[in-house]
Structure 1
Amino acid sequence: MQIEFPDHRPMFNYEDLTIEFAVVVNGRPIDCAVSAEALESHFHAHSARADDLLNAFEHGRSRIHALTREYLAMGLPGPVLLRSGHFRWAQQHEARR
């Protein structure tokens, strides 16, 4: 499975309070996003304002991409919406290794 993260700017979705980002799996674009709650809880976003969430996304980009890659590698179809619980699971899973 080929998973790529194109160099596109992430976008704030006002309706869902998420940051959407580009992912291409085997040449096919997949809708992916991370919730405001996850960005506040795990990446220290100061609020659910667009600027704070985008800044937190940039600081946590590598972890967000790694978890997205892990999720997609499990064979789960898109779209992907990463929530706070996904990051807690990843931390617990990493601690057991």
Structure 2
Amino acid sequence: MQIIFPNEPPEYSGRELTVAFTAMVDGERVECTITAEALEDHFGAASPRFEDMLGAFDTHRSRIEAATRRLLSETRAQCAVLRSGYVRFYEANVRS
């Protein structure tokens, strides 16, 4: 399974409190999101405000993409929603 992340800007959703970004999985676009809670708990976002969430996403994009890559591999390329619990599990197992 080939997973790449196009160099496209993420999209903030104030209604959903998420940041959306795209992955290409074997040539198919897959919509991915990360929750405000995950960005606050693991990536230093000070609040769910636009500036804080996008700043944390941009700063930690490579770590977020690595966790997303694993989630996409585990779910066989369905849409991916990174929640705080998954990020905690992923990072605990990466460091082991």
| Length-normalised TM-score, structure 2 | 0.93
Structure 1: 5+ residue stretches without partners: none
Distance apart, 1:75 and its partner CA? 4.1
- Counterparts of 2:77 and 2:69 in 1: how far apart (Å)? 12
Structure 2: 5+ residue stretches without partners: none
Contact 1:37-1:83 within 8 A present in 2 as well: yes
What percentage of aligned pairs have identical amino acids?
41
Distance apart, 1:77 and its partner CA? 3.6
- The one-letter amino acid paired with 1:73 is S
Distance apart, 1:2 and its partner CA? 1.1
Q: Structure 1 residue runs of 4+, over 4 Å off?
A: none
| Length-normalised TM-score, structure 1 | 0.92
3-state SS of the aligned residue for 1:73? helix
Query: Does residue 87 in structure 1 map to residue 77 in structure 2?
Result: no
Contact 1:30-1:79 within 8 A present in 2 as well: yes
RMSD (Å) for aligned C-alpha atoms: 1.1
Query: Does residue 21 in structure 1 map to residue 21 in structure 2?
Result: yes
Contact 2:38-2:87 within 8 A present in 1 as well: yes
Distance apart, 1:25 and its partner CA? 0.5
Contact 2:45-2:56 within 8 A present in 1 as well: yes
Query: Does residue 12 in structure 1 map to residue 12 in structure 2?
Result: yes
Distance apart, 1:73 and its partner CA? 1.7
Deviations 1:14-66, CA, capped at 9 Å, x for gaps: 22100000111111100101000000011110110011100000111011000
